[in-house]
Amino acid sequence: MDKLKIGSLQLELVQGDIVNAGTEAIVNAANSSLAGGSGVDGAIHRAAGPELYALTRTFGGCPTGSAVITGAGRIPPPTRYIIHAVGPVYSSRDEAASRRLLAGAYRKSLELAQAENLKSIAFPSISTGVYGYPKDKAAPVAVQTVIDYLRDNPGSLERVLFVAYSAPDLEVYRAFFSSLS
């Protein structure tokens, strides 16, 4: 099962490159310096071009558990915005803090999308790369945070994509989607 309907909202699970998601905003799994890095962050910075660094530099960074929004640089329409969400480095010693910070990054991304009156957004699996958040623990936090936010803010978005880069990542999200139906 790769789609969930929440009221008039469509949650979708897809495999691919988030740069090609075809949504008004894509979310970058950013680091707190907003300077680009590896994984999703590096791919988005390469696609958006050097002007993205100039756009993010003006913020002077972003705290963990939050997000900032910029233009999309060279990424073609329909993508107009990049939301740079800073998730936590996973801590098995303080899982509650890791969950809270990860949920905060997703929630702030949605708030920024709503503030711009966007109708579509695509999320990667934030913090599950070099930040070490186990994918099977991150997926429920991500999906449930989005569902809760959208139930509390009906009509704010019409389409939310969770973009998994690999088949194993897709299966983790697919298993959680299936548990919700």
Integer CA distances (angstroms), 177 to 11, 22, 66, 147, 163, in order: 9, 21, 25, 11, 13
Q: What is the fold of 3-180?
A: Leucine Aminopeptidase, subunit E; domain 1 (3.40.220)
Q: What is the pLDDT of residue 58?
A: 92
Q: What is the pLDDT of residue 77?
A: 95
Evaluate whether 143 touches 11 at the Cβ level (below 8 Å). yes
Q: What is the pLDDT of residue 70?
A: 98
* Percent of the residues in the chain that have a pLDDT greater than 70, as a whole number: 99
Q: What is the pLDDT of residue 135?
A: 95
Q: What is the pLDDT of residue 181?
A: 66
Q: What is the pLDDT of residue 1?
A: 60
Cα 144 to Cα 165: distance, rounded to the nearest angstrom = 20
Q: What is the pLDDT of residues 137-150, one digit of tens each?
A: 999 999 999 999 99
Q: What is the pLDDT of residues 109-138, one digit of tens each?
A: 999 999 999 999 999 999 999 999 999 999
**How many other CB atoms are found less than 10 A from the CB of residue 140?**
16
Q: What is the mean pLDDT of the chain?
A: 94
**How many other CB atoms are found less than 10 A from the CB of residue 94?**
12
Q: pTM of the full predicted structure?
A: 0.95
Instruction: Enumerate residue ranges in the chain where pLDDT < 50.
Output: none
Q: Which two tokens stand for residue 170?
A: 């897709």
Q: Please list the active-site residues.
A: 41
